């Protein structure tokens, strides 16, 4: 079993839709959770980061962490064609100084105009 | 935001030759940098942790003699793929964590380097 599971997609939605991206994990020591966006042939770009359980909102993006279920989500409101990319969840522990990231496989999102 | 620069962005080399990829943090110092590789449609896999002034720490299964890492300064780490073979063709990405956190414990990624070995 992988430490972090993420549906690879692709997930196709029309412009304006609400998108829900999810990851599950098995290591209860993970405390710091991140979402990265990666365009084709580019390096990952940090979108959101959260520490422990709860919600965090930034513009059209909301990150949610449920540690009891070992489940994290990223919601995108009013999705745009420019949001089409691969979204990677990543997480890390205090044991590694919050440095060693474990990534999900990424979910490919396609937003059609 | 903070910038991590990788060079070259893409490189094609002949089998058996060596290729060096540079990773620079442009506006912060980073004692620790990380090297990942990513195969098409797969996730990023950590190869090694690069430490300024000391030996890199390699993940299990990564050949340290094949993937040479040098972290000569607080803003530069290099990855050298020695005696490259076609199976080494991949997307190599570095990341760096600022020694003085800019925004929480954020880690910044480079744009990646595409290596094709022919």
Better pLDDT: B61 or A95: B61
Quote the CA–CA distance of B98 and B105 in Å, as a whole number: 8
Does residue B41 surpass a pLDDT of 80?
no
- Condensed to tens digits (0 to 9), the pLDDT of residues A46-72 reads 898 888 788 999 999 999 999 999 999
For chain A, say whether B40 makes contact (Cβ under 8 Å).
no
For chain B, say whether A39 makes contact (Cβ under 8 Å).
no
Average pLDDT over residues B43-47: 91
Q: How far is A98 from chain B (nearest CA, A)?
A: 7
Q: What is the pLDDT of residue B80?
A: 97
Report CB contact under 8 Å: B109, A99: no
Report CB contact under 8 Å: B43, A100: no
Q: What is the pLDDT of residue A52?
A: 73
Nearest to B61 by CA among B50, B47, B49: B47
Chain A neighbors of B106, CB-CB under 8 A? 46, 49
Q: What is the pLDDT of residue B46?
A: 92
Quote the CA–CA distance of A73 and A63 in Å, as a whole number: 6
Q: What percentage of chain A has pLDDT greater than the value 70? A: 97
Report CB contact under 8 Å: A41, B91: yes
Quote the CA–CA distance of B109 and B4 in Å, as a whole number: 6
- Condensed to tens digits (0 to 9), the pLDDT of residues A10-27 reads 999 999 999 999 999 999
Average pLDDT over residues B22-30: 93
Report CB contact under 8 Å: B97, A99: yes
């Amino acid at each position: 079993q992988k430490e972090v599971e993420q549906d690879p997609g692709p997930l196709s939605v029309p412009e304006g839709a609400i998108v829900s991206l999810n990851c599950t994990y098995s290591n209860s020591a993970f405390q710091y959770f991140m979402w990265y966006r990666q365009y084709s042939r580019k390096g990952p770009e940090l979108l959101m980061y959260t520490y422990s359980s709860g919600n965090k909102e930034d513009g059209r993006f909301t990150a949610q962490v449920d540690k009891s279920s070992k489940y994290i989500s990223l919601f995108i409101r009013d999705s745009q064609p420019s949001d089409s990319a691969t979204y990677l969840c990543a997480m890390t522990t205090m044991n590694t100084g919050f440095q060693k990231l474990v990534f999900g496989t990424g979910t490919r999102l396609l937003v059609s105009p | 935001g903070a910038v991590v620069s990788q060079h070259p962005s893409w490189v094609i080399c002949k089998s058996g030759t060596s290729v060096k990829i540079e990773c620079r943090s442009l506006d912060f110092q980073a004692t620790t940098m990380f090297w990942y590789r990513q195969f098409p449609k797969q996730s990023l896999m950590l190869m090694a942790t690069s430490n300024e002034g000391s030996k890199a720490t390699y993940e299990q299964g990564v050949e340290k003699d094949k993937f040479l890492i040098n972290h000569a300064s607080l803003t530069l780490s290099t990855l050298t793929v020695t005696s490259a073979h076609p199976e080494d063709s991949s997307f190599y990405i570095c990341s760096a964590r600022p020694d003085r956190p800019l925004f929480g414990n954020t880690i910044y990624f480079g744009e990646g380097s595409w290596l094709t070995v022919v």
